[in-house]
Structure 1
Amino acid sequence: MSELRSILRNHMKDKLAANQVVASMTVRLARSIEIAQIAKTAGFDTLYVDLEHNTLSIDTTCQICIAAQQIGVTPLVRVPANTPEYICRVLDGGAMGVITPHVRSAEEARAMVDLIKFPPLGHRSAGGPLSHYQYRSFPINETNAAMNDATSLVVMLETVAALENVEAIIATEGVDLLLVGSNDLCGEMGITGQYDHPRLKDAFARAITAARSVGKHVGIGGLASRDDLMTQFVTMGARYVSTGTDLAFLAAACAQKARLVREMTIG
């Protein structure tokens, strides 16, 4: 492995390539870089900053991403819109991958490849030395190839249209992972909140089959409250698990301690 590729190692991609399960934490509450070390200490392989569902700035997002890079936690960003002003800035700012919402077709997936991958695979613009490779200078042909390998394009499957086109979407060159957004997908299918519905299981089965046929993987999203279903879908072949948000983890731990005190017997 070259020096550049060694610096740029994406530990999430390494685990997926080895057919191991990736544990992910979502950042919605934290506004400082300590959350990266907390994720590392807790044992997470990756975190993603959810810009689609909170008010974090791009600057704060990128600081968290850089902190995660340095300690071997793969930083991803879920963008609020699949546009250059979000995607290109978070990638240059420190993200090692982007989660793109509401992709419904192979054509839309290909447009994401164009934004996220460097030539010849895509059309991402060169931004000079980046934090990903320690702000050092390497030949551009070497950095482009290494960054393409290290950068993850995670496409969300959260619409009926995406499910109908899943085989073509996941087969698109440059798409690395398909993340099933269970909440939105159930809503689109008219079974809002019915996570035990067989149509959701069928959707995962179809997505996993499609991904496996091209040597790629499926992730589980939106099921943080259902350990049983996350386990079931991993058994079926999913290999990335979005386990929940920093806000939910904090609220649950706080509630547990408060309940402990309330239930104490006063002697």
Structure 2
Amino acid sequence: MIMSSPADLLITPRRIVSLVPSQTELLYFLGLHNTTVGITKFCIHPKQWQRTKTIIGGTKNILTDKIKQLKPDLIIANKEENVKEQIGQLEKDFALWVTDVNNLNSALLMINDIGQLTNTAVKARLLSEEIKQSFDRLFKTHQKINTAYLIWRNPYMTIGGDTFIHDMLGRCGLQNIFANEKRYPVITTDEMKNRNCNLVLLSSEPYPFKQQHINELQAQLPDTNIVLVNGEMFSWYGCRLLHAVKYLNELITQINTALPDE
């Protein structure tokens, strides 16, 4: 059963499976160390859980038989990160909470919902309030900066206007030049040129961009500032948001310094 409200879960869960890395880290932050029994291979925070929890596959290729063996009383998934058909198989046998996060406000709602589901509502509320207050201290760029945020190479892929990363860019004052696109479109360097791209952010995940890829792109976009960024700070929408503002403020300061005055 896919629940529509935290109140639909009539018990306090004792065996939780998490199918989303950022939400797994949130469970750890909320103190659900013994309650969480299964995670994906991409749930790299906290590191020790990769050794102590059952790995139930990846976010897109869930091993349903392994999950059934764990007999969870709650499975936490995400509309975007998991596959609808696989979630459909699980809902026949288990209680599922499927989150839908595409901006900071929905991330804060998700944190509070999981707090209610797991009997950690007070800690979750304090966390969401601290994150909200920290974003009040977020810097913005001094001028409009046409930005492309790349998540993949061969082919290049970016983020559209309906994504969590887009919302994070906007809060920094960065103008997503592909805001009119949906989800994660394939793009070309010519499209970046045609949209007057001033700044390219190369994410550390899911594709692990490195310095060599800056050199590769710079040859095609010689007048564009290209910067490597920590993808977790733009896309992990759980407790990692506590660290995001410090990182983003340092990045914005770097970007402001690099770009010429208008």
Q: TM-score range by the shorter chain?
A: under 0.3
> When you count helix as a share of all residues, which structure comes out higher?
1
**What TM-score comes out, normalization by structure 1 length?**
0.28
